[in-house]
Structures are given as structure tokens and as C-alpha cells.
Chain A
Amino acid sequence: MLLVGTLPLVIGLVLAFYQGTQEIREVNGSSFEALATETARKIDLVIADELARTALLSTDVNIVKELERNRDALSEMNPQERALTLQQEQKAWNAKAAGMLKKTLEGPFADILQSHVGGTFIDPGHPIPVITRSATRGLFITDRAGRVVASLDSDIPYLHHEEAWWKGAFHNGVGQPYMGQVAFDSHLGVYTFTLSLPIMDSLRYEAIGVLHRIYDAKEFFAPSIDIIRFGKTGHVMLIDSRGVVLSCPILPTGTSISDTRLIPLVTPLHSGWTLAPSDGHGGTEASIIGFAPLSNTRQITQMSTGQTWHMFVWQSSEEVFAPIEHFFKWTSAFGLLGVAMLVTLGYIAANRITAPIRRLQEAAQQIGRGEYREPIELSTGDEIEELADEVNRMNQQLASQFAGLESQVELKAQEVKYLEESTIKILDNVPDPVLMIGPNEQIEYLNKASREAFAVNNGEIIGTPLFQIFPLDPATQDRLKQEIQAVQVREPLSSGSTQDNVSNTTLQDPLNPTNWAHSGTNRQELRINQRTFRYRWFGVQARPGRGPSAGLVLRDTTEESILQDRIIQGEKLASLGVMSAGIGHELNNPLVGVIGLGEAIQEETDPEQIKEYARGIVQHGKRMASVVRDFTGQSGKQLPEGQTAINLNELLEQSLSTVKGIFPSVPVEIQTHFGPIPPIQGKVLELSQTFINILTNAFQAMKQGGKLDISTEKSGEELEIRFRDTGTGISPTHLPRVFDPFFTTKGQGEGSGLGLTVAYRIINKLGGHIRMESEGNKGTTCLITLPVTNAPLARERSSTS
């Protein structure tokens, strides 16, 4: 964090320093250039002024006249004379001949020179005496031949026509100003530069002499240059294009600047500034140097010696960049201070802000995880403390709410556990095997009955495929897989179908042939290990994150099949007994009549009476035959087990007749209301057995007499058969059990307890319902409903058992 904070600071500082340096360089460079230009101009003016003043001397009328005479004299000589004269005069001069010296040093010209240098010379145009510079170290005039004609001193050669300056200024008689380069004058002991002006004739037609002036370079320029100082090291220097110093407050005149590489950089013919590799004063540090040429003076110097003079402005880099370095130092110092303060404040802030916030964050995370924690104690005295208080409040509220929730969850968990345990217990106590099948036919659960039936351990079998414990042929396996899939697919999709499932999953009553018959059409029967199981699928909602499950209920029907066969057998025998009794009863009365009439015939002699008795016997016989026919006739017409179209009204009449025969002494008033009903498909024997059983019960309930209403009618798609007696009725405690096998309230020998059971089974088999209603001792109503079209009928159980 700190680094992130200080890095921009450092970068900014470096950039500021770089930019500042650049700008200082620019500003100083420009300033130096301006100063160089200004000083160059000033020196130009000084030189121009000096030229102008010296020019006054060179145009002095007396001098011009004298030199004209001199010229004319020379021109009158022939070359030999001239050479001789010059030779003689030179000798005399060298020998310091008094005449020569006097003429030269004290003549009228010498006075002019003296007054000019001495400051008493008065320019014709100026009322004020010209104050010449004291820098003049020598001043003399030569004539056309280069002879000295006037001088301030005698320590000079006599002939100068071979001198460069003389030739330059005389310029073959054309005449032009000449400025000599800076050189050490061994005679004077100083570095000098010279100024030579041609002296023109009065017509300015041609040069007739040369005025030569020697200056102490240092003394000449120092007053203008050396005074220009700025800062500790900043100054101005005059150099020539060779790099030789003419004047500098630091370097001695005549020396060259220390680094020759600088010369081309600072001596172009225009002003400017440069960042030079050194300072020219011995320093090797890169320096800003301003420069400017002496433009006006150049016109003379370039013509004279090919050189140019230049101003050179320099200040030591240390000093130039001192402000920015100070700035940098101070900024760095303040930056460090800033960083230190940043650290300190950061530490304080962390203590005051970050740390409490961290604590709050941790607390919030703990609370978020549901871990109750102690209240946060913060005393920062600001918003954070308020926030902590709020968090504490929130924590308390959450804690109290969680406490309620926890107890509820615990309660629910207990309930779930209880439910689970009880379910397992219930399922374990269900005598039938119950299995849960998951995806890929893997067993998820087996109840106790399953484990026992298939001799497996619960822990081992969970997760194994179903068919590992169900050794079934592949066709049956495929069928079961499809069924499992169908159940698993159906179940999670529609919860509405559970209603259907509920009805489907009703454990099937083995004595309820209708449902089983339906099931039989789906072949829901398995033979496993020599045992027969009926089974039902039921869908189970999938657990979250798990595949759909299917429940399987099996019932071992091996024993039941045997029992049922026995019940039916017994019931058949019972029915046979009833029928035998009925037949016996029917036959008994006519038989008694036959016997009585037979006895009467034996004792009767009257043939007419005998015939009468015989007719009676025949009548009784016919009646007996009719009884036998009644009981056997129909069964004789079709197969006993076959189905046929049955007229229920007729069958009811027959059954009623049979039962009345059984109970001849019971005074029952019988009313029948037989409506027009279509025939139904069924077995005569079974239905007549049903009706006989019901009617028998009614007669037995009305031993003291009563009234029996029998009615049939078609109601919609159903047929209703109603038996209503006024007998003793059925007590409410017995009513739910009347269809139970072997349940009876009758005395020994009166009933087997299977009558209504059989009736129930038969009606159900036909797709109908049978219901018993009773109100205490006010009699009983039995209501049978049968579908009008009850075909196709289920396959016979016997065929599968």
C-alpha cells in the first residue's frame, strides 16, 4: 500500500525534476543567448566607436597633406633612389639617430597623436575632448612606403610595408580597415590586438598611409566584459574563432578555451545557445553556453584575418541547476516527510479505521456463517462504533431468531427421525416385502420381510441391482425394467397422478378378485424361488439431488392360493349342502303325497277313486320332476364353468323359490318389483349362489315373520338389485365384518360364515359392488350393483394357480 502511495510521488518528483531541468535549461539557454547577443552588440559598438574615433585621426587634414607630400616625393624618386633612401633612413632609425627620432616622435604629427591619446584632441564635430582609452599601447603612422612618419614611441621597426596589417590596411592603395588577431606582444609583455586604418588622400581616391594602433586586449575589453557577472560563476567572455580568449573575467587573455570541441559549437555566425559537453573553463560538466558573433566587427576581422569574434556566456551548471536541485532536495525531503507522515497516519488510520473495520468484517463473516459470537467492543467514537453497535444489535436479533429456528429445526429433525424410524418400523412390520428401486434398478431399501424372503442382509444389498436377488428370465427382467422406468418417469412429473397411484397401490385383497383380475391382465405376478408373488409398483418422489425411485410391494401368494382354493372348495360343498337341503325339501312334500296316495290306493277298492289317487300320484311325480328339472335343467344346458347371458329377474325368482322351500315355515311376506333389465354375462351357479346366500340370511333374520322386498332396476349403466328385509338387522359392530370369511353370528350348524364372503367375491368378479346397510334391529338392506356390460370378464384364477 505504502509502495503504491509513494511510487507516484517518486515518479512525479523525478518527472518534475526532469521537466524543471529542461525548462531551466531552456530559460537559461535563452537568457544566455540574449546576454551574449546584447554583449556582442555592445562590444560591436565599442569597436565601432573606437574605429570612428581612430578614423578621425586618419582623416586629419594635416596628416593627409603631409602624407600627400610624402607620396608625391616618393613618386618623384626612381626605384633605386627610393630603395637607397629607405635603407638609409632605416639605418638611422635603428641607430636611434636624433634627427630621425625627433622628426618622428616630436613632429607636428606626433603632437596630434599625443593629443589624441592623451585626451586633448578635439573632434571638429564635437565640442568635448575625446577621452581615448588607456588601452592603447602603441600608435603610429606610416606613409605609402610603410615608413614610420609619426609615432608615440621609438621601440618599433622603421619599415612596415611587409607587415600583414600594413598590407591589409593599405590594400594596394584602395585602403580598408584592418584588425589584427590577438597575439602576445613580447616587447610590451601583453596580449594585444591591432587596428590599422588606411589614410586616404584628400580626394579619398587612394591610400597614402596607414594608421596603426596597438591595444592591450585585456584592458580594452575588460571594462565592457569583465563587469558582466551574474551569480557566482556567470560571466561573459570574448573569444575569436580560434577559441583564443580576448577577454574573460576568469581565463587570462590569450589562452585557448580548455575544450576545443566547443569551438565549432559556440562560433557559428548566428546567436544561440547550446548544451556543451564541457564549460570551456576546465570543467568537464555539461554546460549551457550562450553565444553570439560580433556581427559588425566581423566585417572587418573576417576581411583582415579571416577570423570572427564571439561572445561566450556561461554559468557553472552547479549554479544554473542549483534552484532545481534545491527544489529537488527540498521536495525529496518533504516527500520523505510525506511518506513518513503517510506511514504514521496510515498506521493510525489502520488502528483507528482499518482494524475496527477488519474486526467488523470478521464479525460479519462469523455471523454470516451462523456462528454466534460475543458482541464487538469498539470505542472509536465515530461511525464505525455506531456500525459495530448496529452489528451487535443485528447479531443479537439473529441469535434470538436462530435460537427459535434451531429449536424448530431440532424439532423437525426429531420428527423426521421419528418419521423415518416409524416408517422403517412400519415397513419392517409389514409382512409383505417392500423394496425401493433407484436408478439403474439399484436397490435402495429393503424392509425386513424382503430381507427374510430373499435371505439377504440389508447392508450388503443396498446399491446392488434388483435382478441380482431376483433371478428372473430376461423377458421378465425387461418387462420389470420398463415398468420401473414408467413409474419413475411418471412419478416426478405429476403429483396429480399420486391419486391414481393411491388407488393402484391399495394393497390387494386376495379375496378381491376384480382388482386382481385387473392386475392379472398386466401379468403382475412373479415366480421367484418356487414362490409366487403378486406385486405392485408405486412411485416415490425423488429425493433432492437423487434420481427417481420406484417402490415395489410384493405379496407372497403361494399360501393364499392354496387357501383360496380350499375356501372355494368348502364354499362349493356348503352350497351343495344348501341345495341338497332345498331339493330334499322340495321333493319331500310331493313324496309324502305320493306315499299317502299310494297307501290310499292300497286300501281303496273303488276303481274311480283309485284312478283319482293315481292321478294325484302322477301330479306329485310331475311336480318332483319339475323340481329336479329346476335344479338341474339349466346346468344341464351349459357347461358349469361357462358364462352365459343371464336374466337376473328369472334367476331371482328361482333362488327365491329355492329359499322359500328351505324355510317353509317362516311367514314372510314377499314383494317383488322386477324392472326391465338387460341380461348380463356371468355364471348362473355363482349368481344363484349369491342370491340364495343373501336370501337365506334374510329368511334367517325374519324367523318370526316379516316382509321382504326384492327389486331390480336399471340405473344408468348399472343394474341395481335390492333386498330389503324387516329382520333383526345387523349391529353396527358387526356390519364392517359381514364380508369377512368365517364371520358369523349364527348358531352352530346354521351358517359357515362364508356366504357373504362368497357373494362379495362373485359380485366383485363381475365388476360390481355389494353393500350391506342396517339400522339396528329395523332390518337389513343389501344393495348389489352390477355393470350393464360387465364383459370382458377376468380370466379364471384357476387357470393361473
Chain B
Amino acid sequence: MTNLRYIRNGLPILFLTTILIGIGVSSSLQAGESNAMKNLSPEKVADFIHAIVEADRHVYTTHIVERMQEQGVVMAREDWENKSAIPLPAQFLHISSKLVAESGHGIRFRLISLWPIYRRNGPATGFERQALEKLSLDTNTPQRGIVSTGKKRLFQAIYADTAVNDTCITCHNAHPLSPKRDFRKGDLMGAIVVTIPLED
């Protein structure tokens, strides 16, 4: 339970802290030196956020989930809230994402896929769909663009999310709601979308 609680509360907070530090840095830069602020492009912020998100998920996946499962301490499973289990790496990202959104700084990130287990995780816009399609051809080049909702304009960077370890593949290939079940290591599974509001 201690582990679980640590995972449920501790890790996202740790994660959040790193993000806030990042944002805080950018804020202070905005306040202090406008030139420096101008140099801090949304692309870089998005890259920075993406790097942190991916690093955190990697740490969680490799050093927590896999180790705990190997040692038989606790399993990661989708219905972790009802069982003695810990969240799946994807759920970890969702929870982090929600916490970041709830922090009220406007920056959002989420996972999307052309083969989502739940439809809500499908591409929300044409841009996202196109980005996924492009990424499936070239995983190394993030898709970036400015999108709008109504009059609101936002910067989006979409990074390829490939199957880097067995946990992801096993789960997606076995899940009854999964539309695609032939993922292999290195395959593109989806993308991480980082959304940053552009102030008018």
C-alpha cells in the first residue's frame, strides 16, 4: 500500500514539480528579460514538456512497474483502483495529464492513437489525425502546428510514441477493446500531444 500510495500521489507530484519548475523558469524569464522570453518558443517548451513526460513515464515503466512485477510485489493493471495494483504506464500519463490540467496553467498533454482502446483517446481534430498518419511514416519528426478552437489559438506539438517495451505491447495486443493487436517493438502506437495556449 505504501508503494501504491507513493505511486498514486508521490510520483505525479514529483512529475508536476519538475514541470512547474520548467514553467516557473519560463515565467521568470518572461518577467525578467523580454528578449529571452521571445527566444523561448512554444516549440521548445513543448519539446521540454515532452522530454519530461516521456522521461517520467520511462522511469515509471522501467524502474517501478517492471521491477515490481518481476519481484512479484504488485502488478500494474487497468482496474488498479479496485485491486491491489498500480496504474499502467499509459494510465500514469493520463493521471499526470489531468493533474497538470487541473493546475490551471493552460498547458495540456495527452496520448492519442489511431488505434485507441477507448475512443476518447482517438484524434480529436483533423490536424491530430494527419499528424498521426505522418508520424507513422516518420516517427522521428514531431508534427507541430497552430490550431484554434473558436477564436482561441493554441500551439500543438505531436510526438511519436513507439512501443519501447513489452508492457505496452502485451497490454495493447491483449486488450479486448484494442482495435489493433499486432504491435511489435518499435512500432508506432500513438503520439503524445502537447498543447500550449498562445496568448493573444
State A201–B110 Cα separation when bound (angstroms): 15
The chain A residue with its CB closest to the CB of B79 is A295
Task: Pick from B102, B156, B197: contact of A171, CB below 8 A.
Answer: B102
User: Is A299 within 8 A of B81, CB to CB?
Assistant: yes
B104 sits at the interface (CB 8 A): yes
Q: What does the 1/0 interface line of A149-184 toward B look like (CB < 8 Å)?
A: 000000000000000000000011110100000000
Collect the chain A residues with CB atoms within 8 Å of residue B120's CB: 55
Interface residue ranges, B against A (CB under 8 Å): 79, 81-82, 98, 101-102, 104, 108, 110, 120, 124-125, 147, 149-152, 154, 156, 195, 197
User: Is B82 within 8 A of A293, CB to CB?
Assistant: yes
User: Is B149 within 8 A of A298, CB to CB?
Assistant: no
State A171–B104 Cα separation when bound (angstroms): 10
Task: Pick from B104, B124, B154: contact of A172, CB below 8 A.
Answer: B104
The chain A residue with its CB closest to the CB of B195 is A205
A625 sits at the interface (CB 8 A): no
A491 sits at the interface (CB 8 A): no
User: Is A295 within 8 A of B82, CB to CB?
Assistant: yes
State A173–B149 Cα separation when bound (angstroms): 14
State A69–B150 Cα separation when bound (angstroms): 6
User: Is B150 within 8 A of A201, CB to CB?
Assistant: yes
Collect the chain B residues with CB atoms within 8 Å of residue A202's CB: 124-125, 149
Collect the chain B residues with CB atoms within 8 Å of residue A71's CB: 150, 152
Measured between C-beta atoms, what is the minimum distance from B94 to chain A in Å? Answer: 12
> Contacts A171-B102, A172-B104, A204-B124 known; A68 to B81 CB distance under 8 Å?
no
A72 sits at the interface (CB 8 A): yes
State A293–B102 Cα separation when bound (angstroms): 28
Measured between C-beta atoms, what is the minimum distance from A640 to chain B in Å? Answer: 142
A203 sits at the interface (CB 8 A): yes
State A270–B124 Cα separation when bound (angstroms): 36
Q: 7 tightest CB-CB pairs across the interface, nearest first? A: A68-B150, A201-B149, A174-B101, A72-B151, A204-B124, A72-B150, A295-B82
State A205–B153 Cα separation when bound (angstroms): 11
State A270–B82 Cα separation when bound (angstroms): 7
Collect the chain A residues with CB atoms within 8 Å of residue B101's CB: 173-174
The chain B residue with its CB closest to the CB of A71 is B150
Interface centre among B79, B98, B151, B154 (most CB of A within 10 A): B151
State A201–B108 Cα separation when bound (angstroms): 13
Q: Interface residues of A: mostly helix, strand, loop or mixed?
A: helix
State A69–B124 Cα separation when bound (angstroms): 18
Q: What does the 1/0 interface line of A266-294 toward B look like (CB < 8 Å)?
A: 00011000000000000000000000010
Measured between C-beta atoms, what is the minimum distance from A174 to chain B in Å? Answer: 4
The chain B residue with its CB closest to the CB of A271 is B82
User: Is B79 within 8 A of A68, CB to CB?
Assistant: no
Measured between C-beta atoms, what is the minimum distance from B45 to chain A in Å? Answer: 16
User: Is A203 within 8 A of B104, CB to CB?
Assistant: no
User: Is A203 within 8 A of B82, CB to CB?
Assistant: no
Collect the chain A residues with CB atoms within 8 Å of residue B108's CB: 205
Collect the chain B residues with CB atoms within 8 Å of residue A201's CB: 149-150, 152
Measured between C-beta atoms, what is the minimum distance from A75 to chain B in Å? Answer: 8
User: Is B82 within 8 A of A298, CB to CB?
Assistant: yes
Collect the chain B residues with CB atoms within 8 Å of residue A270's CB: 82
> Contacts A172-B104, A204-B124, A205-B108 known; A269 to B150 CB distance under 8 Å?
no
State A71–B149 Cα separation when bound (angstroms): 10
A-B contact pairs, 20 of them (CB 8 A): A65-B150, A68-B150, A71-B152, A72-B150, A72-B151, A75-B151, A172-B104, A174-B98, A201-B152, A202-B124, A202-B125, A203-B147, A203-B156, A203-B195, A204-B110, A205-B149, A205-B152, A205-B154, A295-B81, A298-B81
Interface centre among B81, B102, B150 (most CB of A within 10 A): B150
The chain A residue with its CB closest to the CB of B84 is A270
What is the total number of residues of chain A having a CB less than 8 Å from a CB of chain B? 23
Collect the chain B residues with CB atoms within 8 Å of residue A69's CB: 150
State A201–B149 Cα separation when bound (angstroms): 6
Interface centre among A201, A203, A269, A293 (most CB of B within 10 A): A203
User: Is B152 within 8 A of A269, CB to CB?
Assistant: no
Interface centre among A171, A173, A174 (most CB of B within 10 A): A174
State A176–B156 Cα separation when bound (angstroms): 22
Beyond the given pairs A68-B149, A72-B150, A298-B81, 5 more chain A to chain B contacts, judged by CB atoms under 8 angstroms and listed by A's residue number, are A55-B120, A171-B102, A174-B102, A203-B124, A269-B82
Collect the chain B residues with CB atoms within 8 Å of residue A269's CB: 82
State A172–B99 Cα separation when bound (angstroms): 12
The chain B residue with its CB closest to the CB of A67 is B150
Measured between C-beta atoms, what is the minimum distance from A125 to chain B in Å? Answer: 8
Collect the chain B residues with CB atoms within 8 Å of residue A298's CB: 81-82
The chain A residue with its CB closest to the CB of B108 is A205
Collect the chain B residues with CB atoms within 8 Å of residue A299's CB: 81
State A203–B156 Cα separation when bound (angstroms): 10
State A203–B150 Cα separation when bound (angstroms): 10
Collect the chain A residues with CB atoms within 8 Å of residue B149's CB: 68, 201-203, 205
State A204–B125 Cα separation when bound (angstroms): 9
State A269–B83 Cα separation when bound (angstroms): 9
State A69–B120 Cα separation when bound (angstroms): 23
State A270–B154 Cα separation when bound (angstroms): 44
Measured between C-beta atoms, what is the minimum distance from B84 to chain A in Å? Answer: 10
A526-568, CB < 8 A from B: none
State A294–B101 Cα separation when bound (angstroms): 27
State A325–B156 Cα separation when bound (angstroms): 72
State A55–B120 Cα separation when bound (angstroms): 10
User: Is A72 within 8 A of B82, CB to CB?
Assistant: no
Collect the chain B residues with CB atoms within 8 Å of residue A293's CB: 82
The chain A residue with its CB closest to the CB of B148 is A203
The chain B residue with its CB closest to the CB of A64 is B149
Collect the chain A residues with CB atoms within 8 Å of residue B125's CB: 202-203
The chain B residue with its CB closest to the CB of A125 is B119
> Contacts A69-B150, A204-B124, A205-B149 known; A172 to B102 CB distance under 8 Å?
yes
Measured between C-beta atoms, what is the minimum distance from A143 to chain B in Å? Answer: 12
User: Is B154 within 8 A of A203, CB to CB?
Assistant: yes
The chain B residue with its CB closest to the CB of A176 is B98
The chain A residue with its CB closest to the CB of B200 is A75
Collect the chain A residues with CB atoms within 8 Å of residue B124's CB: 202-204
The chain B residue with its CB closest to the CB of A203 is B149
A50-83, CB < 8 A from B: 55, 65, 68-69, 71-72, 75
State A204–B79 Cα separation when bound (angstroms): 24
State A625–B83 Cα separation when bound (angstroms): 167
Collect the chain A residues with CB atoms within 8 Å of residue B195's CB: 203, 205
State A299–B108 Cα separation when bound (angstroms): 22
Measured between C-beta atoms, what is the minimum distance from A633 to chain B in Å? Answer: 150
Measured between C-beta atoms, what is the minimum distance from A646 to chain B in Å? Answer: 136
State A65–B151 Cα separation when bound (angstroms): 11
State A69–B148 Cα separation when bound (angstroms): 12
State A29–B130 Cα separation when bound (angstroms): 55
The chain B residue with its CB closest to the CB of A299 is B81
Collect the chain B residues with CB atoms within 8 Å of residue A75's CB: 151
Measured between C-beta atoms, what is the minimum distance from A19 to chain B in Å? Answer: 34
State A651–B4 Cα separation when bound (angstroms): 152
State A337–B102 Cα separation when bound (angstroms): 77
Measured between C-beta atoms, what is the minimum distance from A248 to chain B in Å? Answer: 24
User: Is A72 within 8 A of B152, CB to CB?
Assistant: yes
Measured between C-beta atoms, what is the minimum distance from A66 to chain B in Å? Answer: 10
State A707–B81 Cα separation when bound (angstroms): 161
State A75–B152 Cα separation when bound (angstroms): 10
Measured between C-beta atoms, what is the minimum distance from B100 to chain A in Å? Answer: 9
Measured between C-beta atoms, what is the minimum distance from B95 to chain A in Å? Answer: 12
Interface centre among A172, A201, A204 (most CB of B within 10 A): A204
Measured between C-beta atoms, what is the minimum distance from A38 to chain B in Å? Answer: 16
State A269–B98 Cα separation when bound (angstroms): 24
Interface centre among A173, A202, A295 (most CB of B within 10 A): A202
State A205–B149 Cα separation when bound (angstroms): 9
Measured between C-beta atoms, what is the minimum distance from B7 to chain A in Å? Answer: 17
State A176–B104 Cα separation when bound (angstroms): 14
The chain B residue with its CB closest to the CB of A293 is B82
State A269–B152 Cα separation when bound (angstroms): 43
State A171–B101 Cα separation when bound (angstroms): 10
State A50–B81 Cα separation when bound (angstroms): 22
